[in-house]
Structure 1
Protein backbone atom coordinates (compact mmCIF):
# COMPACT_ATOMS: atom_id res chain seq x y z
CA UNK A 1 0.00 0.00 0.00
CA UNK A 2 2.82 2.42 0.86
CA UNK A 3 4.41 1.76 -2.53
CA UNK A 4 1.15 2.44 -4.33
CA UNK A 5 0.71 5.66 -2.36
CA UNK A 6 4.28 6.71 -3.17
CA UNK A 7 3.72 6.08 -6.88
CA UNK A 8 0.52 8.13 -6.78
CA UNK A 9 2.32 10.99 -5.03
CA UNK A 10 5.16 10.99 -7.58
CA UNK A 11 2.65 10.91 -10.45
CA UNK A 12 0.67 13.82 -8.99
CA UNK A 13 3.87 15.75 -8.26
CA UNK A 14 5.19 15.36 -11.80
CA UNK A 15 1.77 16.11 -13.28
CA UNK A 16 1.60 19.32 -11.27
CA UNK A 17 5.11 20.29 -12.38
CA UNK A 18 4.15 19.74 -16.02
CA UNK A 19 0.90 21.69 -15.58
CA UNK A 20 2.69 24.68 -14.04
CA UNK A 21 5.27 24.69 -16.83
CA UNK A 22 2.60 24.63 -19.54
CA UNK A 23 0.46 27.30 -17.88
CA UNK A 24 3.25 29.69 -16.98
CA UNK A 25 5.35 29.20 -20.09
CA UNK A 26 9.02 28.50 -20.44
CA UNK A 27 11.46 29.10 -17.60
CA UNK A 28 14.83 30.59 -18.51
CA UNK A 29 17.43 31.06 -15.80
CA UNK A 30 18.36 34.56 -16.94
CA UNK A 31 14.79 35.74 -16.23
CA UNK A 32 14.77 34.52 -12.62
CA UNK A 33 15.61 36.82 -9.74
CA UNK A 34 17.92 36.02 -6.85
CA UNK A 35 15.08 34.72 -4.68
CA UNK A 36 14.04 32.04 -7.19
CA UNK A 37 17.25 31.17 -9.07
CA UNK A 38 19.03 28.66 -6.82
CA UNK A 39 17.78 25.07 -7.25
CA UNK A 40 15.67 26.02 -10.31
CA UNK A 41 15.73 24.08 -13.58
CA UNK A 42 15.16 25.81 -16.91
CA UNK A 43 12.64 24.53 -19.43
CA UNK A 44 15.50 23.05 -21.47
CA UNK A 45 16.54 20.93 -18.45
CA UNK A 46 19.69 22.81 -17.46
CA UNK A 47 20.14 23.90 -13.85
CA UNK A 48 20.19 27.55 -12.88
CA UNK A 49 23.01 28.97 -10.79
CA UNK A 50 23.02 32.20 -8.79
CA UNK A 51 26.22 34.21 -9.22
CA UNK A 52 27.44 37.14 -7.14
CA UNK A 53 29.68 39.85 -8.54
CA UNK A 54 31.13 42.94 -6.89
CA UNK A 55 30.65 46.04 -8.98
CA UNK A 56 33.38 48.63 -8.59
CA UNK A 57 36.40 48.09 -6.37
CA UNK A 58 35.68 51.13 -4.20
CA UNK A 59 31.90 50.83 -4.17
CA UNK A 60 31.75 47.16 -3.22
CA UNK A 61 28.19 46.86 -4.52
CA UNK A 62 27.07 43.22 -4.75
CA UNK A 63 25.17 42.31 -7.89
CA UNK A 64 23.40 38.95 -8.25
CA UNK A 65 22.64 37.34 -11.59
CA UNK A 66 21.02 34.06 -12.52
CA UNK A 67 22.77 32.05 -15.22
CA UNK A 68 22.25 28.74 -16.97
CA UNK A 69 24.80 26.12 -15.89
CA UNK A 70 26.07 23.14 -17.86
CA UNK A 71 24.59 20.73 -15.32
CA UNK A 72 21.61 18.82 -16.71
CA UNK A 73 18.73 17.87 -14.42
CA UNK A 74 17.53 14.29 -14.87
CA UNK A 75 14.23 14.38 -13.00
CA UNK A 76 12.36 17.45 -14.22
CA UNK A 77 12.45 20.57 -16.37
CA UNK A 78 10.93 24.02 -15.99
CA UNK A 79 10.98 23.99 -12.21
CA UNK A 80 11.46 26.60 -9.47
CA UNK A 81 12.02 24.78 -6.19
CA UNK A 82 9.31 25.10 -3.54
CA UNK A 83 9.77 26.80 -0.18
CA UNK A 84 8.71 23.52 1.46
CA UNK A 85 11.65 21.64 -0.11
CA UNK A 86 14.10 24.46 0.61
CA UNK A 87 13.13 24.18 4.29
CA UNK A 88 12.91 20.36 4.38
CA UNK A 89 16.43 20.03 2.96
CA UNK A 90 17.86 22.86 5.13
CA UNK A 91 18.87 24.96 2.15
CA UNK A 92 18.93 28.71 1.65
CA UNK A 93 16.89 30.30 -1.11
CA UNK A 94 19.77 32.60 -2.14
CA UNK A 95 22.53 29.98 -2.35
CA UNK A 96 25.32 31.21 -4.62
CA UNK A 97 26.93 28.71 -6.99
CA UNK A 98 26.70 24.94 -7.20
CA UNK A 99 29.17 23.22 -4.90
CA UNK A 100 29.85 19.83 -3.38
CA UNK A 101 31.20 21.35 -0.15
CA UNK A 102 27.95 20.79 1.71
CA UNK A 103 28.18 17.05 0.99
CA UNK A 104 31.04 16.92 3.51
CA UNK A 105 28.83 18.28 6.30
CA UNK A 106 27.17 15.50 8.34
CA UNK A 107 24.28 17.73 9.40
CA UNK A 108 23.53 18.66 5.80
CA UNK A 109 23.71 15.04 4.68
CA UNK A 110 21.35 14.10 7.52
CA UNK A 111 18.77 16.62 6.28
CA UNK A 112 19.26 15.67 2.62
CA UNK A 113 18.68 12.00 3.49
CA UNK A 114 15.78 12.73 5.84
CA UNK A 115 12.40 11.38 4.67
CA UNK A 116 11.02 14.93 4.38
CA UNK A 117 13.70 15.88 1.87
CA UNK A 118 14.69 12.60 0.22
CA UNK A 119 11.15 11.36 -0.47
CA UNK A 120 9.50 14.69 -1.34
CA UNK A 121 12.17 16.76 -3.10
CA UNK A 122 13.45 14.80 -6.12
CA UNK A 123 14.94 17.89 -7.78
CA UNK A 124 17.26 18.62 -4.84
CA UNK A 125 18.22 14.97 -4.36
CA UNK A 126 18.98 14.71 -8.09
CA UNK A 127 21.14 17.86 -7.94
CA UNK A 128 23.36 16.61 -5.13
CA UNK A 129 23.52 13.08 -6.58
CA UNK A 130 24.71 14.57 -9.88
CA UNK A 131 27.29 16.73 -8.11
CA UNK A 132 28.64 13.74 -6.18
CA UNK A 133 28.72 11.55 -9.30
CA UNK A 134 30.48 14.29 -11.25
CA UNK A 135 33.24 14.47 -8.66
CA UNK A 136 33.55 10.71 -8.31
CA UNK A 137 31.83 10.81 -4.90
Structure 2
Protein backbone atom coordinates (compact mmCIF):
# COMPACT_ATOMS: atom_id res chain seq x y z
CA UNK A 1 0.00 0.00 0.00
CA UNK A 2 1.21 3.51 -0.75
CA UNK A 3 -0.15 6.60 0.93
CA UNK A 4 -0.93 8.19 -2.43
CA UNK A 5 -3.46 5.39 -3.12
CA UNK A 6 -5.47 6.11 0.01
CA UNK A 7 -8.67 8.13 0.10
CA UNK A 8 -9.19 11.11 2.38
CA UNK A 9 -11.14 8.84 4.75
CA UNK A 10 -8.28 6.34 5.10
CA UNK A 11 -5.20 8.57 5.04
CA UNK A 12 -4.70 10.12 8.47
CA UNK A 13 -2.91 7.78 10.91
CA UNK A 14 -2.15 5.18 8.21
CA UNK A 15 1.29 3.63 7.62
CA UNK A 16 2.57 2.64 4.15
CA UNK A 17 4.04 -0.72 3.19
CA UNK A 18 7.48 0.87 3.65
CA UNK A 19 6.73 1.95 7.22
CA UNK A 20 6.33 5.66 6.43
CA UNK A 21 3.43 7.56 7.94
CA UNK A 22 0.75 8.93 5.66
CA UNK A 23 -0.43 12.53 5.97
CA UNK A 24 -3.50 14.27 4.66
CA UNK A 25 -2.79 17.54 2.87
CA UNK A 26 -5.17 20.23 1.64
CA UNK A 27 -4.55 22.10 -1.57
CA UNK A 28 -6.45 24.49 -3.81
CA UNK A 29 -7.27 23.45 -7.37
CA UNK A 30 -7.00 25.86 -10.28
CA UNK A 31 -10.77 26.24 -10.08
CA UNK A 32 -10.33 27.63 -6.56
CA UNK A 33 -11.95 24.64 -4.87
CA UNK A 34 -10.20 22.96 -1.97
CA UNK A 35 -9.19 19.34 -2.38
CA UNK A 36 -7.30 16.78 -0.32
CA UNK A 37 -4.56 14.32 -1.12
CA UNK A 38 -2.76 11.67 0.85
CA UNK A 39 1.03 11.81 0.75
CA UNK A 40 3.94 9.92 2.27
CA UNK A 41 5.78 11.71 5.06
CA UNK A 42 9.42 11.26 6.05
CA UNK A 43 8.31 10.04 9.48
CA UNK A 44 8.78 6.32 10.05
CA UNK A 45 6.51 4.19 12.19
CA UNK A 46 8.28 1.90 14.65
CA UNK A 47 7.83 -1.74 13.57
CA UNK A 48 4.55 -0.96 11.78
CA UNK A 49 3.82 -1.34 8.07
CA UNK A 50 0.85 -1.47 5.73
CA UNK A 51 -1.73 -0.29 8.24
CA UNK A 52 -4.88 1.81 8.03
CA UNK A 53 -5.92 2.82 11.54
CA UNK A 54 -9.23 1.35 12.68
CA UNK A 55 -12.30 3.47 13.36
CA UNK A 56 -12.32 2.03 16.90
CA UNK A 57 -8.85 3.46 17.58
CA UNK A 58 -9.68 6.79 15.92
CA UNK A 59 -12.66 7.14 18.25
CA UNK A 60 -11.02 5.71 21.40
CA UNK A 61 -7.98 7.98 21.03
CA UNK A 62 -9.97 11.14 20.33
CA UNK A 63 -8.62 11.51 16.80
CA UNK A 64 -10.18 12.91 13.64
CA UNK A 65 -9.85 11.37 10.16
CA UNK A 66 -9.71 14.90 8.74
CA UNK A 67 -6.47 15.71 10.59
CA UNK A 68 -4.05 17.54 8.32
CA UNK A 69 -0.34 16.74 8.69
CA UNK A 70 1.32 15.44 11.84
CA UNK A 71 1.73 17.65 14.90
CA UNK A 72 2.35 17.43 18.62
CA UNK A 73 0.01 20.38 19.27
CA UNK A 74 -2.86 18.12 20.35
CA UNK A 75 -0.75 16.95 23.32
CA UNK A 76 -1.42 20.39 24.83
CA UNK A 77 -5.16 19.71 24.96
CA UNK A 78 -6.23 18.04 28.20
CA UNK A 79 -9.26 16.36 26.60
CA UNK A 80 -7.11 14.77 23.88
CA UNK A 81 -4.45 13.62 26.35
CA UNK A 82 -7.14 12.02 28.53
CA UNK A 83 -8.37 10.02 25.52
CA UNK A 84 -4.84 9.12 24.36
CA UNK A 85 -3.90 7.92 27.85
CA UNK A 86 -7.12 5.96 28.37
CA UNK A 87 -6.78 2.17 28.47
CA UNK A 88 -9.04 1.92 25.39
CA UNK A 89 -6.44 3.83 23.38
CA UNK A 90 -3.11 3.37 25.13
CA UNK A 91 -3.39 -0.41 25.50
CA UNK A 92 -5.21 -1.23 22.24
CA UNK A 93 -3.90 1.18 19.60
CA UNK A 94 -0.12 0.72 19.22
CA UNK A 95 0.05 2.73 15.99
CA UNK A 96 -1.43 5.83 17.62
CA UNK A 97 0.62 5.41 20.80
CA UNK A 98 3.81 4.98 18.75
CA UNK A 99 3.07 8.16 16.79
CA UNK A 100 2.33 10.31 19.85
CA UNK A 101 5.13 8.72 21.88
CA UNK A 102 7.58 9.87 19.22
CA UNK A 103 5.96 13.29 18.83
CA UNK A 104 6.12 13.80 22.60
CA UNK A 105 9.73 12.62 22.73
CA UNK A 106 10.59 15.11 20.00
CA UNK A 107 9.30 17.82 22.33
CA UNK A 108 11.23 16.49 25.31
CA UNK A 109 8.23 14.84 26.96
CA UNK A 110 8.08 11.19 28.02
CA UNK A 111 4.56 10.03 27.12
CA UNK A 112 4.18 7.36 29.85
CA UNK A 113 5.03 9.96 32.49
CA UNK A 114 2.67 12.50 30.89
CA UNK A 115 -0.11 9.89 31.02
CA UNK A 116 0.68 9.12 34.64
CA UNK A 117 0.55 12.82 35.50
CA UNK A 118 -2.64 13.22 33.44
CA UNK A 119 -4.31 10.48 35.50
CA UNK A 120 -3.24 12.10 38.78
CA UNK A 121 -3.87 15.75 37.92
CA UNK A 122 -4.85 16.75 34.34
CA UNK A 123 -4.26 20.47 34.92
CA UNK A 124 -0.75 19.91 36.21
CA UNK A 125 0.16 17.73 33.23
CA UNK A 126 -0.83 20.43 30.78
CA UNK A 127 0.69 23.22 32.84
CA UNK A 128 4.07 21.57 32.54
CA UNK A 129 4.14 21.79 28.77
CA UNK A 130 4.45 25.25 27.27
CA UNK A 131 2.51 26.19 24.14
CA UNK A 132 5.68 25.60 22.13
CA UNK A 133 5.50 21.98 23.19
CA UNK A 134 8.75 22.20 25.12
CA UNK A 135 8.86 21.08 28.72
CA UNK A 136 8.67 24.11 30.93
CA UNK A 137 12.08 24.76 32.48
CA UNK A 138 12.68 25.10 36.19
CA UNK A 139 14.85 27.85 37.63
CA UNK A 140 18.43 27.98 36.38
CA UNK A 141 19.60 29.59 39.59
CA UNK A 142 18.26 27.99 42.78
CA UNK A 143 18.36 31.38 44.50
CA UNK A 144 15.33 33.57 43.87
CA UNK A 145 14.65 37.29 44.24
CA UNK A 146 16.79 38.97 46.92
CA UNK A 147 18.49 35.70 47.82
CA UNK A 148 15.31 33.88 48.83
CA UNK A 149 15.11 30.26 47.68
CA UNK A 150 13.38 29.97 44.32
CA UNK A 151 10.46 27.64 44.10
CA UNK A 152 9.04 26.29 40.89
CA UNK A 153 5.89 24.19 40.59
CA UNK A 154 7.37 22.83 37.38
CA UNK A 155 9.87 20.00 37.40
CA UNK A 156 10.89 19.10 33.82
CA UNK A 157 12.84 16.08 35.01
CA UNK A 158 9.54 14.36 35.82
CA UNK A 159 8.70 14.16 32.10
CA UNK A 160 12.08 13.02 30.88
CA UNK A 161 12.84 9.36 30.67
CA UNK A 162 15.48 7.16 29.16
CA UNK A 163 15.59 5.57 26.73
CA UNK A 164 12.73 6.87 24.65
CA UNK A 165 11.04 3.64 23.55
CA UNK A 166 7.35 3.07 22.83
CA UNK A 167 5.51 1.36 25.70
CA UNK A 168 4.52 -1.90 23.97
**TM-score normalised by length of structure 1:** 0.76
- Counterpart in 2 of 1:120? 92
Deviations 1:17-72 (A, max 9, x none): xxxxxxxxxx100100100000000010000000001224xx53111011100111
SS at match of 1:85: helix
Q: Gapped runs of 5+ residues in structure 1? A: 1-26
- Greater gyration radius: 2
More strand per residue: 1
Identify which of structures 1 and 2 has the higher relative contact order when contacts are C-alpha pairs closer than 8 Å and 6+ apart. 1
Q: Equivalent residues in 2 for 1:37-48 (5 A)?
A: 37-48=11-22
The answer to whether residue 5 in structure 2 is matched with residue 31 in structure 1 is yes
RMSD: 1.1
- Cα drift, residue 134 of structure 1: 2.1
Q: Matched residue pairs, number?
A: 109
Q: Gapped runs of 5+ residues in structure 2? A: 110-168
- Cα drift, residue 95 of structure 1: 1.1
Distance (whole Å) between structure 1 residues aligned to residue 34 and residue 97 of structure 2:
30
SS at match of 1:117: helix
- Cα drift, residue 75 of structure 1: 3.5
